[in-house]
Amino acid sequence: MIAMTSGYRLLPSVERLLSHERALGLIEAHSRQVVVDAVRQRLDEARAAIAGGSAAPQPDEIIDAVCEQVEAMDRPWPRHVINATGVALHTNLGRAPLSDDAIAAMRRTAQGYSDLELDLAAGRRGSRQAHISKLVGRATGAEAALVVNNNASAVMLGLAAIASGKEVIVSRGEAVEIGGGFRIPDVLGQSGATLVEVGTTNRTYARDYEAAIGENTGALLAVHASNFRVMGFTHAPQVGELVEIGGQYGVPVLHDLGSGCLLDTTRFKLAHEPMPQESVSAGVGLSFFSGDKLLGGPQAGIIAGKRELVDIVARHPLARAMRIDKLSMAALAATLEHYIRGEALDKVPVWRMIAMTSDDVKSRAALWAEKIGARASPVKSQSTIGGGSLPGETLSTWALAIDCEGIEGGAEEVAKRLREADAPVLGRIEDGRVLLDARTTLPNEDALLLRSVQSALHGEG
């Protein structure tokens, strides 16, 4: 008790800390109140540490922490980070990076006025959905489309507009949680529709849907289980089978595809990912998919399908609450143009990553290793797609392996230094080494990555 009391007495006062030369500089650059708040917070933390048995920190240690806290407030956010994790669509890192054209479109739209909701030819108000609907139609074959702020909104809006107060038939194996608490049964409940589950977890047939159709059936819903895979004794009907049944009974078929994949993934030795074009071609009433996953664009939810159904959705009161903003609309339009022009593999970053050959990735990792020196070497590894797309699928890749032997704290310490670098680098740890995947690092980031790695290794003991 005596030692703890003496520890508290060793703590400097708020005024003493504020009179420190570095604290005075912070006050001049920011404000006195900001610095006072930071000082008090650090003193509270010091008292808690002393209560736990730790020694009182020195005044310079407290000032260091105060300076770090206050200066961090001035850093731009979100910060640019280098994704060397090997996960192309990393949800924690913002998923899909945009193409240069998409970024330019956002900048152009942000810097001035635009014809977002103006028909220039007629000189009167237009619709922000008109142009994007045509682009989605050209990319997927859909009669019409509507774009909202994300795919969760798209599904919710579609169900609310088409099936509120009615029953929606879903396979028991597809009444899933997609992620972030987004559960299909909950979404159905919030939309005003009633869930009717059919089949079993692993096997559902088209006849199960047909047997459940009644007078109050509003829709048949197919959901792509995008972030997990059920293997073994399984069966699920093709969406075309549901369309045939829906046609017989006058019930629309809705299809949540999730990832928005407009290119055939089997070209890259990956499992087949459902494509909106296939859904539209099969005659689905409405297809729902994301803009920021395998489409490689901004966060958006796209509703594509039959014009009469899209028009019903567009008139629903929730459509305005969920509408997409002008910057995302501009980026999405530019991204869709890449597919329409057949240049997605060259222009859309996520597809450029997927299409890279193992030899190309190896050459890049080897070049990094050459510049880093003895602690670095290229190693063969596996990349994943991420973002709830193609679960269990991997791409052969090469990574820069950093030998952390002899560094105090080992790989965890090196990974921490990389995260805290001026240009933060996110990698992964395997077998006591830090691995930086060359597939998911953008082409213009090499110099930044190498500088951060050198800085992280420079502090080794």
> Each residue of 63-90: pLDDT tens digit?
888 888 888 787 788 899 999 999 999 9
Give the span between the Cα atoms of 314 and 320, in whole angstroms: 8
The secondary element (H helix, E strand) that includes residue 301 is: strand 301-305
When pLDDT is averaged across residues 325-338 and rounded to a whole number, the result is: 97
Give the span between the Cα atoms of 450 and 115, in whole angstroms: 43
When pLDDT is averaged across residues 261-290 and rounded to a whole number, the result is: 95
The secondary element (H helix, E strand) that includes residue 189 is: helix 184-191
Q: In this predicted model, which residue has the larger pLDDT, 4 or 242?
A: 242
What pLDDT shows up at residue 2? 47
Q: What residue type is 56 in one-letter code? A: A
- The tokens describing 362, both together, are 């190896």
- State the helix-helix crossing angle for 326-340 and 100-111, rounded to 10 degrees: 150
Q: State which fold the 82-91+350-458 domain adopts.
A: Aspartate Aminotransferase, domain 1 (3.90.1150)
When pLDDT is averaged across residues 309-313 and rounded to a whole number, the result is: 97
Burial of 289 (0-12, 13-18, 19+ CB in 10 A): buried
Cα–Cα nearest to 222, from 176, 157, 269: 176
The confidence band for 5, taking pLDDT boundaries of 50, 70 and 90, is low
The whole-chain average pLDDT of the chain stands at 90
Is residue 261 within 8 A of residue 389, CB to CB? The reply is yes
Beta partners for residue 171, in sequence order: 198
Query: Tens digits of per-residue pLDDT, 139-156?
Result: 999 999 999 999 989 999
Q: Which of 45-49, 313-317, 389-393 has the lowest mean pLDDT?
A: 389-393
What pLDDT shows up at residue 10? 85
Query: Tens digits of per-residue pLDDT, 390-411?
Result: 877 899 999 999 999 989 999 9
Give the span between the Cα atoms of 325 and 186, in whole angstroms: 26
The confidence band for 187, taking pLDDT boundaries of 50, 70 and 90, is confident
Q: Do domains 82-91+350-458 and 100-347 have the same CATH topology?
A: no
What pLDDT shows up at residue 1? 47
Can you tell me whether residue 389 is helix, strand or coil? strand
When pLDDT is averaged across residues 260-268 and rounded to a whole number, the result is: 94
What pLDDT shows up at residue 59? 87
Query: Tens digits of per-residue pLDDT, 412-449?
Result: 999 999 999 999 999 999 999 999 999 999 999 999 99
Domain over 100-347 is classified CATH 1.10.540.10: no
In the chain, domain spans? 2-72, 82-91+350-458, 100-347
Q: Is the model's pLDDT at 301 over the cut of 80?
A: yes
Give the span between the Cα atoms of 64 and 87, in whole angstroms: 35
